[in-house]
């Protein structure tokens, strides 16, 4: 997962890094950004279970009444932080080959979760999404935005002739990073660079084999299938 913190703290992979760009807008935008920064800091320090409107208000310097009025709850705070992140640029790898790009993408996720500041925030979002539908919808939209941004990896690979036409970019990206999430949040197995590289290589092999292309017309029916020419008794006997 990638999450962005606009203060410029780089956190690849687990929580998106900020590009350092200044978000345009007036006081409303500044208040929203201050609350987002405070939400991330509270998540990093206390996890989702320790996130409170009061804590965010105190850390952001925004009055508690304003936070309640505009965000309503901790679910609203978390969802808005994800919404802001989904619209921010992701440092998409561009190594010149799809093999290198997928490897760097998987490593980006790995280093993000290992980051002492970004990792706990990403973990908090994923943990919260399993218990709260508001956060779950926001996280789904966040990942959808990341898949859309990362589609360029596959687009470039198809143009270079490395992957077949029609390859589903989102499926390639999911397959390249899914083993990392499984180990981190399901099995609890260790995750390292070798694991990330194997996940990327598996995704690449599947993509090259055409696994992520849309389903094509059914193959012509073979012997014994409906619609196939009947076999003669002699052929069956043989």
C-alpha 73: how far from chain center = 24
Residue 39 has a pLDDT of 95
Backbone φ and ψ for 17, nearest 5 degrees, come out as: -85, 150
3-state secondary structure 37-55: HHHHHHHHHHCHHHCCHHH
Q: Which residues contact 177 (CB under 8 A, 6 or more apart)?
A: 105, 106, 109, 199
Query: Along the 238 residues of the chain, how does pLDDT read in single tens digits?
Result: 554 343 333 333 333 333 333 444 578 889 999 999 999 999 999 999 999 999 999 999 999 999 999 999 999 999 999 998 888 888 899 999 999 999 999 999 999 999 988 899 999 999 999 889 999 999 999 999 998 999 999 999 999 999 999 999 999 999 999 999 999 999 999 999 999 999 999 999 999 999 999 876 334 444 444 444 444 434 444 4
Q: Which residues contact 170 (CB under 8 A, 6 or more apart)?
A: 147, 148, 150, 151
3-state secondary structure of 17: strand
Q: Which residues contact 135 (CB under 8 A, 6 or more apart)?
A: 75, 78, 79, 82, 125, 128, 129
Roughly what angle, to the nearest 10 degrees, separates helices 27-46 and 64-71?
Answer: 90
If 0-12 CB within 10 Å is exposed, 13-18 middle and 19+ buried, where does residue 58 land?
A: middle
Cα 38 to Cα 6, 33, 59, 104, distances in angstroms: 11, 9, 6, 30
Q: Across the strands, what pairs with 17?
A: 5
Cα 118 to Cα 2, 16, 61, 78, 125, distances in angstroms: 9, 8, 22, 15, 11
CB 104 within 8 A of CB 159: no
């Amino acid at each position: 997962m990638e999450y962005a913190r606009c203060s410029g703290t780089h956190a690849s992979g687990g929580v998106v890094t900020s590009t350092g760009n200044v978000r345009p807008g007036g006081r409303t935008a500044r208040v929203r950004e201050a609350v987002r920064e405070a939400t991330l800091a509270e998540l990093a320090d206390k996890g989702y279970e320790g996130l409170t409107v009061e804590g965010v208000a105190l850390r952001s310097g925004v009055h508690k009444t304003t936070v309640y009025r505009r965000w309503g709850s901790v679910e609203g705070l978390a969802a808005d932080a994800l919404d802001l992140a989904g619209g921010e640029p992701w440092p998409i790898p561009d190594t010149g080959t799809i093999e290198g790009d997928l490897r760097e993408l998987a490593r980006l996720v790995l280093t993000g979760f290992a980051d002492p500041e970004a990792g706990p925030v990403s973990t908090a979002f994923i943990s919260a999404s399993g218990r709260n539908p508001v956060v779950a919808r926001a996280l789904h939209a966040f990942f959808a935005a990341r898949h859309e941004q990362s589609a360029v990896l596959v687009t470039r690979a198809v143009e270079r002739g490395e992957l077949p036409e029609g390859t589903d970019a989102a499926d390639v990206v999911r397959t390249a990073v899914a083993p990392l999430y499984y180990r981190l949040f399901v099995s609890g197995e260790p995750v390292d660079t070798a694991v990330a590289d194997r996940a990327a290589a598996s995704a690449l092999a599947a993509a090259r084999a055409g696994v992520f292309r849309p389903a094509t017309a059914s193959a012509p029916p073979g012997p014994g299938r409906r619609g196939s020419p009947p076999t003669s008794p002699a052929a069956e006997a043989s």
